[in-house]
Amino acid sequence: MNKVPFVTKEQVEEIVKTYPTPFHIYDEKGIRENAQKLKQAFSWNKGYKEFFAVKATPNPFLIDILRDYGCGCDCSSLTELMLSEAMGVKGEDIMFSSNDTPAEEFAYAAKLGATINLDDITHIEFLEEIMGKLPETMSCRYNPGGVFKISNGIMDNPGDAKYGFTTEQMFEGFRILKEKGVKHFGIHAFLASNTVTNEYYPVLAKEMFELAVRLKEETGADIRFINLSGGIGVPYLPDQEGNDILAIGDGVRKMYEEVLVPAGMGDVAIYTELGRFMMAPYGHLVTQAIHEKHTHKEYIGCDACAVNLMRPAMYGAYHHITVLGKEGQACDHMYDVTGSLCENNDKFAIDRMLPKVDMGDYLVIHDTGAHGFAMGYNYNGKLKSSELLLKENGDVQLIRRAETPKDYFATFDCFEIYDKFNF
């Protein structure tokens, strides 16, 4: 089974006349269809809202597409808050979920009227010192500890994660917040990453719904929303079956009706903070084969490197590769597909079976629409690529220019040496 790129060899050959490789390109049609399906999956909940995880793909052109479907922004830093504000996203359309948060970032989130999601019980006093008076609506992030299981087995290990309140701290925290004047509450949790199963959200929802009922009964808190956060993943492997978001939404609805409705909490809004699910499949990193090496292994060297896509080097993550124009050929050559960094882990694929790759071939690296460009860096003085949008009508729009040496050296602009750079 193979993944099918959303761009063809002919399209790429036309694109590179204006925008040279490497570049990230995103599929507007796919993004829109997916956002509409998510909205449909949770349409049973009157207050439902998706807060797109800005960290996954911090590009205003792409976020604007999601805003057409009612999405807000999930921010975790000052610059993500600034990006949201610049786009006109403010107030309850921003969820600020961060950890180890500097005071100025809390202050900025408060200025925008964002809903602040506290990561730790000590942040209550910290935030109060910054604001003077806590906002009327607050959220707390929950971490039950231990391992998180579904019927297929262990999904992740929250007990090792640095995030969130313990169960006991949730109850203590809600009581403290009530005493300090907070009137409305939310609960947030992220217990597993990149799950490819329709079970994750319903199982998580049931655990959070049961906690919400207990919190309401024992603290008297007015719980307005429950944020299931992210964790719904995508099938990076070509033979993996993807999540069915309609089935997931229906599974959450059943838990809602089983747990919350009988407890008189049938007006609680459901929130999500999806990033990978919203964007990953709708992004490609397009790169050109520029070198081949025949030593102890067979290597294909690309003009992209881990600066453009860090996940394989950082996690050993699998990203499928298509050699454009050779989709129908047998994958009978084994290669390591590499970049040019002075690090041996700068490899997009190891021992990957592909058609014979010739110099000048264009390679599509799939599923880079989230945590792709966003995780880039400048090691070896490498520069980040451009980002392009394949419009629904087939046009290609530049949505971020490629970096230049001037960008790389910009932070030396307060020193005399800056004047010696030849731009």
* Catalytic residue set: 342
Distance CA 368, CA 309 (A): 7
Q: Which of 121, 228, 131, 127 is nearest to 175 (CA)?
A: 121
d(CA 124, CA 77): 18
At what angle are helices 103-112 and 78-86 packed, to 10 degrees?
A: 20
Query: What's the one-letter identity of residue 82?
Result: M
- DSSP letter string, 323-390: ETT-TTS---EEEEEE--SSSTT-EEEEEEEESPPPTT-EEEEPS-TTTTGGG---GGG----EEEEE
Q: Are strands 222-227 and 184-189 parallel, antiparallel or unpaired?
A: parallel
Q: Which of 404, 382, 370 is nearest to 284 (CA)?
A: 370
CA–CA separation, 381 and 158 (whole Å):
37
Helix ranges restricted to H, 68-144:
78-86, 103-112, 123-131
CA distance 357 to 281: 24
Whether 26 and 282 have beta carbons less than 8 Å apart is answered as yes
Distance CA 2, CA 46 (A): 39
**Burial bucket for residue 90 (CB in 10 Å: 0-12, 13-18, 19+):** middle
Alpha carbons within 13 angstroms on the beta-carbon side of residue 333 total 16
